[in-house]
A and B are shown apart, each in its own frame.
Chain A
Amino acid sequence: MNPIRLTGRAALRLMRGIGAVALFAGRGLVRLRPFYPRAFATQLVQIGWLSLPVVGLTALFTGAALALQIHSGGARFQASDVVPAIVAIGMVRELGPVLGGLMVAARVASSIAAEIGTMRVTEQIDALVTLSTDPVRWLVTPRLWAATLTVPLLVAVGDSIGIMGGWLVGTQSLGFNSTAYLANSWAYLEGWDVLSGLVKGAAFGLIVATSGCWFGMRSGRGAEGVGQATKAAVVAAAVGILAANFILTGLFFE
Chain B
Amino acid sequence: MIEARDLHKTFGPKTVLAGIDLSVAQGESLCVIGQSGTGKSVLLKCILGLVPPDRGEVLWQGRPLDRATRPDFLRRFGMLFQGGALFDSLTVWQNVAFRLRQRMADANARAIAIDKLRRVGLAPETADLMPAELSGGMAKRVGLARAIADDPQIIFFDEPTTGLDPIRARRINQLIRGIVRETGATAITITHDMASVRAIGDRVAMLQDGRIAWQGAASAMDAAPELAEFLGKTPA
Contact = CB atoms under 8 A, between A and B. Distances in A.
B75 A127 contact: no
B48 interface: yes
Q: For chain A, give the interface size range.
A: 10 to 19
B83 interface: yes
A119 to B, nearest CB: 8
Contact of A131 (B49, B83, B98): B98
Interface string B89-121: 100000000110010000000000000000000
A27 to B, nearest CB: 15
B6 to A, nearest CB: 24
B77 interface: yes
Contact of B102 (A34, A118, A124, A126): A34
B231 interface: no
B71 A123 contact: no
Contacts of B81: 123, 126-127
A179 interface: no
A130 B148 CA distance: 12
A73 B87 CA distance: 55
Nearest to B101: A38
B78 interface: yes
The residue among A34, A119, A129 with the most chain B CB atoms within 10 A of its own CB is A129
Given A122-B83, A124-B85, A130 B102 contact: no
Nearest to A134: B71
B45 A130 contact: no
Contacts of B88: 118-119, 124
A126 B85 contact: yes
Given A123-B81, A123-B83, A129 B71 contact: no
A130 B74 contact: yes
Contacts of A42: 89
Contacts of A119: 87-88
B48 A131 contact: no
A129 to B, nearest CB: 6
B48 A130 contact: yes
A131 B50 CA distance: 12
Contacts of B78: 130
Contacts of A123: 81-83, 85
B229 to A, nearest CB: 29
A127 B85 contact: yes
Contacts of A118: 88
Contacts of A173: none
B197 interface: no
B160 to A, nearest CB: 14
Interface of A: 34, 42, 118-119, 122-124, 126-127, 129-133
Q: Which A-B residue pairs are the 5 nearest by beta carbons?
A: A127-B85, A123-B85, A130-B79, A132-B74, A123-B81
13 contacts: A34-B102, A123-B81, A123-B85, A124-B87, A126-B45, A126-B48, A129-B74, A130-B77, A132-B71, A132-B74, A132-B75, A132-B99, A133-B102
